[in-house]
Amino acid sequence: MAAAPGDKLGPYVILDVIGKGGMGEVYLATDTRLPREVAIKTSQEKFSERFSREAKVIASLNHPNICTLFDVGPNYLVMEMIEGPTLSERIKSGPLSLGEVSDIMRQVADALDYAHERGVVHRDLKPGNIKIRPDGVVKVLDFGLAKVGPTATASADPENSPTMTIGETQAGVVLGTAAYMAPEQVLGKSVDKRADVWAFGVVFYELLTGARMHKGDSVQEILASVLKDEPDLTRVPAQAHRLIKRCLEKDPNKRLRHVGDVMSLLDEAPGSGSQPPVAPRPPERDRQKWLWPAVAAGAIITAGAALVLWAPWRKPPSTQTVRFEIGPAAKMTFINQASMAVSPDGRWMVFPAVGDDGRTHYYIRALDHVEVRPLPGADGNQSPAFWSHDSRWVFFVSASKLKKVDIQGGPPQNISDFPTDRSGGADSNSDGVVIAGTDGSPILSVPASGGQLKPVTSLAPNENAHRWPQFLPDGKHFLYYRASSDPARMGVYIGSVDVQANQQSTHRLLASDQQAYYAPSPGGGTGHLLFLRGTTLMAQPFDPDRLTLSGEPTAIVDAVDSYITNHALFSVSNTGTLAYRGGSGTQRVLTWVDQQGNPAGTLGEPGEYSAPAISPDGGRVAVAIGPEATRDIWILDVARDRSTRFTFDSAGEDFPVWSPDGKYIAFSSNRSGRGDIYIKPSDGSGEEKLLLKTDEPKSAESWSKDGRFLFFTSNGPITLADLWALPVQPEGKPVALLRTQHAETFPRISPDGRWLAYASTDSAPEDVYVRPFMPDAPNGAGAKWLVSKGGGFRPIWRPDGKALFYISANIQVVSVDIDTSRGFQTGTPRRIFTAPSATSVYRWDLSPDGKRFLFVSPTSANAVIPFTVIVNWAAGLKK
């Protein structure tokens, strides 16, 4: 296909043609949804179903040295935009030094090793598929797609000959570019990761010598050379002989099996220690985007000397603002919607990420270095960590404990028990007082040395949490966010540790649906309150002595993302350093995922979605759309992918639940100042009716299959979240199923109506339990069974009642077999796949046939989103 500037491919607008080839063209384009620049590679033929399926697997690869595949169209691929030359362009000027080659190929090996561990083989590794960015980061292109590309004829150019497929109906298929194909590929045999090891050795040789290993006037001659010729190592440095020989064993059974081991085969130079890698020479900074482009997602500043000059604690020139990005490091995977926290002195940043052990850890990075390291013993979930006032300690919540860890070393120390397993922010002052927030709780305080938590604020009617506290400079007053079902109460307030909990000021400083943080002026003068308006980060002058705002807010950063619990993803130090995470902001997509975790399509357009609920027949989805205070419920037709508005009140409606016959939808609404429960015919033909009105915020959760009971959660000021059942009949009175000092959430009744699954902080961490459903028994009566292992929440029954699904603490979807033939018995929990993102686990559903899950996911779930750091951010306000 051919396109011209201004043409559209789906949501992408073509800007320029940046490459042409025998199989299609490559375009520079803009993604209109985010926005961002991307590269689009087109094909002359439509992709097969197999190609699209394989491409989705490749899109799941998340590594700083792998070019990210964003999207797949009917005959095009959407890739990240990568600046810099390919290796084939680099070696036109001659061979590279061993140190330079080692630095480049070590990154290539890391990319291949990561993919091989996930069952993906490249099969077409060559210099033309490897690019070097201006900052020295290597990117491997065309990853894994060679094996599913359309058929092409062989070219006489051995380096640029396209991926070949020969004899598709034969037992074997030949794939690859001629000069870099392994012998087993040439022979049409099935190949595995050892074919990539062979190609790795060929590329290594070519970079060191500046010449191709296998030559010929035709592809046939080159293939013959691959089968019979041995490499000539006379021009190869002696230290690399062993590496190349092990990679280029013609018998794959004798060849090195794991590319992750290859760099250890470099021998030391005679009479010296091992040769250190040499930094890559700077590539030409022209617009070399002809093949693949790239995301800023893995951008890591590697010029350490330059960063020292930019170090946040060194006062920068008053007119200079410095920006850079921090991407994921080796053996660590970013959690895109996870927050970061910059230390008060601006020297450090802490954030949660998934380690190579599959568990979530808190990582720390000094902003003047590129090294990232996990804090020993600081394991937890994706909720934010926070700093002590002196930048020495990191506070975090794990296993329902508030903990702290010294960044200089030593194991974490328990400060106190905590109401939940998720942090809602924490801070400390110079007097050794820690304040913290969480779900369903007021702001709590405790000595940093340890002790009992005590409330310093109190939840007012219609409020469900106080979160994100920050001490102001006097160490007494603090900012915090009040989450409420009443829009008139929602926002940022000022509290004081010297005031009784029930006597805190009720004056709202800032109307907002997210937190705000104070940033002092490093050079003296008026500081600023930083907060989000939509997805734009604003700064407004704030006097911490008078506790007043002045002037008008000024926009400082666009496209800042948000976490689902009223938390904008930004952090600011006392020294003028600002960090934030860009992305989709509040925009989400409804994503189908099959039982193996493979993406199975999306539903509807991107929007501010919450709480999807699939109808009993699977044909419709009820979902809340819009900002929390004013969102409405919409009905989406699955087959036609069309949406119809279901509620029209100016207040906020949320948490839709279908009746078992699909004729009604129950939902929560804050129209009376709290989360009361209403019901309405699902076809929209009738009026809404009030089912339940109380003084506490409530969320509808599930409906029994016999239609008799609607289950909901109610947040009490003392007992936190409680479980209730409401008889769906005239004047039905709610029944308390479980009211304790712990938080019980997400009640789900089994298909036969006998068992109630739910999550509770009764154990540490939060876990999934099952109880018999006994509406006539006293509150909390009956046995209970622990279902999850090592933490779990958001349970969902399989339609046949023989299994429960839940989300683990590190966002894995877990399945547990259930046997009720002789009482209640559970099997061993087993992980089945990773949820699409950290935010997607807060609301999900399962189709009635049990074959597909529906998640609310960020639009950028498949892209690695870096942290952006701005040094001396306030300098821009003076312009």
Residues noted as catalytic: 124
Locus of tokens 């007021």: 442
Q: How many helices (H) and strands (E) does the chain have?
A: 8, 62
Locus of tokens 């205070």: 629
CA dihedral 594, 596, 598, 601 (to 10 degrees): 0
With both helix axes pointing from N to C terminus, report the angle between 193-209 and 98-117 in degrees, rounded to the nearest 10.
Answer: 170
The region that residue 462 occupies, defined by phi over 0 for left and psi between -120 and 50 for alpha, beta otherwise, is left
Q: Which helix (H) or strand (E) holds 18?
A: strand 12-20
Polymer length in residues for the chain: 879
> How far apart are the C-alpha atoms of 451 and 343, rounded to whole Å?
24
- Nearest CA to 612 out of 633, 627, 640 is that of 633
Q: Which two tokens stand for residue 481?
A: 């966010």
* Contacts of 636 by beta carbon, 8 Å cutoff, 6+ apart: 590, 603, 604, 620, 621, 622, 623, 642, 643, 644
Residue 534 CA from chain centroid, whole number: 20
| Cβ proximity of 191 and 180 under 8 Å | no
> How far apart are the C-alpha atoms of 642 and 645, rounded to whole Å?
10
Sign of CA dihedral 268, 269, 272, 276: negative
Helix, strand or coil for residue 820? coil
Amino acid at 24: G
Helices (H), 77-156: 87-90, 98-117
Residue 170: phi and psi, rounded to 5, are: -80, 175
Q: How far is CA 456 from CA 402, 443, 444, in A?
A: 16, 6, 6
Helix, strand or coil for residue 873? helix
> How far apart are the C-alpha atoms of 876 and 779, rounded to whole Å?
59
DSSP lists the bridge partners of residue 25 as: 20
* Contacts of 702 by beta carbon, 8 Å cutoff, 6+ apart: 657, 710, 711, 747, 748, 749
Q: What is the SS3 assignment for 296-352?
A: CCCCCCCCHHHHHHHCCCCCCCCCCCEEEEECCCCCEEECCCCCCEECCCCCEEEEE
| Cβ proximity of 647 and 680 under 8 Å | yes
Q: Which two tokens stand for residue 656?
A: 């839709």
Helix, strand or coil for residue 841? helix
> How far apart are the C-alpha atoms of 402 and 415, rounded to whole Å?
5
* Contacts of 835 by beta carbon, 8 Å cutoff, 6+ apart: 807, 811, 812, 813, 841, 844, 855
Residue 693 CA from chain centroid, whole number: 37
Helix, strand or coil for residue 508? strand
Q: Which helix (H) or strand (E) holds 31?
A: strand 25-31
Helix, strand or coil for residue 427? strand
Question: Rounded to 5 degrees, what angle do the CA atoms 508, 547, 543 make?
Answer: 130
Listing DSSP states for 606-662 in one string gives: EE-EEEEEE-TTSSEEEEEES-TTT-EEEEEETTTTEEEE----SS-EEEEEE-TTS
